[in-house]
Structure 1
């Protein structure tokens, strides 16, 4: 089975020629929280065990269930029974073969009508364009370098998110004084409140005292609404407040009633609150009926409302009340019962500036991550097919750096 066109002078070899495919086994008997060895599947390490099936470099391929992902494993490990692990790499470099299997769509080899599954016999028949080993090594080195950059950027983004979460919690409970410093009870006056200790200048308000929910639905099939941008929950990135895509109601084929929102509103997804999806919109448009368009009242900044909605305390509250029903969803009554510690307008401005600086840095790194992933995709297409030979690529690099 041939799955990729390649350079004419590369030899087509079957996966059987390149490696041995082994069955994973149930880890039930070896699982241990104090285990020394990772128990792995296509998603990486899942648990720990006190025994191992293989030692060395290997590629984990899905046998049942998640068959469209592969994982590179090293050292001593146990492979779960719904996956294969490759060994005895005869005429192939393990890391190069991993990238090849990562580049193809293994789902097209699915033989089941229910749970997706891959047979070992069919995998063995894969016809793989195989460069000489020196080229395999270089290809693997180049793609591994990009992978390391991706992993480092992901780690930075994760660290930034942890820092941002902590700082947002500080802002919503202690605020920023006129000198730009986060308040402390050692240097500023605080008072008791139903929400705990808060700055003496702040007031406690119910959420619906500081925002309003727009009423009435619009027909997205009629003018002018069918040409308006329509925001749905899956258009918003979880926890970040970023809008990932913009499409009109017409482009999405919308037919049921939608809520109208205005520039400056905070659009919040009331379903599955644990996903923490909200965005401050800078345009007029429509949103799904599964969302609340929250319009800040006089004296309340939109950025402050977004901070509250994405904040830890509101998110925990929304998750808690949504669990009362069979489907995770927060209703208007529950929304109205949430209380907020409200600072002055000038302090909200300072908080908004601080939050914007944090978000700008995060967006920059996410953009960089997206570019790295695009570079990897393009390199895989070029290098694994021989469209661009490794020797030529290395020569290009030398010219650039000289």
Structure 2
């Protein structure tokens, strides 16, 4: 149905270079003529003598395209005047007014339901539509790159960017008649539901592939099958370790401290050619070094490591930050530096330490609520599966081959998601700027269950939030 869309019958010059031509019966207006703009100054504090309120804050808008009154909001207080001025109403649109990066300026969210105590928080602008524009259309217009770019250009600042009241009111949007707006909203809601369905299916595929990779690693390093034959080993014995279970009969089970050396050589300097590795430089669960730098400035002591050592992140060990650097360097003290002895291959040591059950076992020993840490005394005492060196090599080669295939499938799926998101952005832009006519198509669309749309949107927002949190850690 989307492929059959055509242009409008007639166009005119919009008078705006970046917008070009628009349908002949459309208008082009500045926001000052289409919405009432209010810049919130309500902070997050609670003060005596003020009324209790719930604040819709920057993060709520950034992470949720649509705001509902039953969401979790920060509790604060506000004066009667502030409540009256910044209380949210259904159909309002909020945009992010300030940010540390310029392309996070002007992110919109539509208020779909409200409550008497729900008001606009700091760093946000409240846009209340006048009779000429629907809030849902305004949301889509502000999502289009052409309109959003106006905010990027007008954002002022060096380390933090912000929009002035005047810059917001001066932004230009294409303005179809209300019937056209309703047709556009209906069509884009229909298209977005289908795009989200596909994206959600791809996200489920990635989770399944990640889980398969972890299960496969566990099965291999605990000897559930022989990687050379693909069959179980002839005989097994109890390992004496709950997380290991039974292991092949001829495997050893030894404490980690008997097969590796814990290196705790500290220094306040580094050579020019040495790497500097901090926790944020290591990708969780993959062992990939995201960023390595030969330039570093540190005020506290760091640890020396050499090529072949294994670095294990002891702060928040559940993040599974385990890496084998390819050259000498220094790392922050939140890593355990482990050097394999002659009985264990460094690559095998890395694989087992990054396995899900080993991580879970180590994480069970941590202390500290906000910054949980593991200690060498516990990690060094854990019992470790130890096949022969030749079998360790076979295990590593097998896992490298299998995980490479899985990682390639994950990368391809992520690319599909990126393309779908790019397609969504382009579709919104083409529709709200009048490049394609959706009026006739919109009349033929079936009604969609609102519950499914809300569920898909919430699931996507949770996934995006989890990704941002992972990146932050």
Q: Same fold (TM over 0.5)?
A: yes
Q: Does 2:272 match 1:226?
A: yes
Inter-partner Cα distance in structure 1 for 2:304 and 2:366:
24
Partner of 2:238: 192
- How many pairs align? 356
TM-score of the superposed pair, with normalisation by structure 1: 0.65
Q: Does 2:362 match 1:313?
A: no
Partner of 1:33: none
Partner of 2:325: 281
Q: Does 2:251 match 1:167?
A: no
Partner of 1:237: 283
Deviation string, structure 1 residues 53-76 (Cα, Å, up to 9, x no partner) = x9x9997767999997958789x8
Q: 1:90 to 1:195 in 2, by over 3 A?
A: closer
Deviation at 1:189, TM superposition (A): 1.5
Q: Does 2:345 match 1:301?
A: yes
1:14 aligns with one of 31, 35, 45: 31
Q: 1:126 to 1:380 in 2, by over 3 A?
A: farther
Deviation at 1:277, TM superposition (A): 0.9
Q: Which structure has the greater CA radius of gyration?
A: 2
Query: Relative to structure 2, which stretch is displaced further, 230-239 or 355-364?
Result: 355-364
Q: 1:128 to 1:291 in 2, by over 3 A?
A: farther
Deviation string, structure 1 residues 3-31 (Cα, Å, up to 9, x no partner) = x993466745318727999x9x989xxxx
Contact 2:255/2:380 (8 A) holds in 1: yes
Q: Does 2:189 match 1:177?
A: no
TM-score of the superposed pair, with normalisation by structure 2: 0.56
Partner of 1:32: none
SS in 2 for 1:125: helix
Deviation string, structure 1 residues 259-305 (Cα, Å, up to 9, x no partner) = 22223222111112122211122233222222122222213122321
Inter-partner Cα distance in structure 1 for 2:372 and 2:391:
34
Contact 1:231/1:286 (8 A) holds in 2: yes
Inter-partner Cα distance in structure 2 for 1:180 and 1:214:
37
Q: 1:211 to 1:149 in 2, by over 3 A?
A: farther
RMSD: 5.4
Inter-partner Cα distance in structure 2 for 1:342 and 1:173:
9
Partner of 1:364: 408
Partner of 2:467: none
Q: 1:105 to 1:233 in 2, by over 3 A?
A: farther
Q: Does 2:63 match 1:43?
A: yes
Q: 1:253 to 1:49 in 2, by over 3 A?
A: closer
Q: Which runs of 5+ in 1 are unaligned?
A: 28-39, 392-402
Deviation at 1:226, TM superposition (A): 3.0
**What does 1:3-402 correspond to in 2, within 5 Å?**
6-7=18-19, 11-14=28-31, 17=34, 42-44=62-64, 81=118, 89=134, 92=137, 94-100=139-145, 125=169, 127-130=171-174, 153-177=202-226, 179-181=228-230, 183=232, 188-196=234-242, 197-199=245-247, 200-220=249-269, 225-248=271-294, 250=295, 252-323=296-367, 327-365=371-409, 367-368=411-412, 369=414, 373=418
Q: 1:357 to 1:77 in 2, by over 3 A?
A: farther
Deviation at 1:92, TM superposition (A): 3.3
Inter-partner Cα distance in structure 2 for 1:213 and 1:166:
28
Deviation at 1:205, TM superposition (A): 0.9
Inter-partner Cα distance in structure 2 for 1:106 and 1:151:
33
Q: 1:124 to 1:356 in 2, by over 3 A?
A: same
Q: 1:374 to 1:123 in 2, by over 3 A?
A: farther
Inter-partner Cα distance in structure 2 for 1:125 and 1:216:
60
Deviation string, structure 1 residues 192-224 (Cα, Å, up to 9, x no partner) = 231143221221111122222223224435xxx
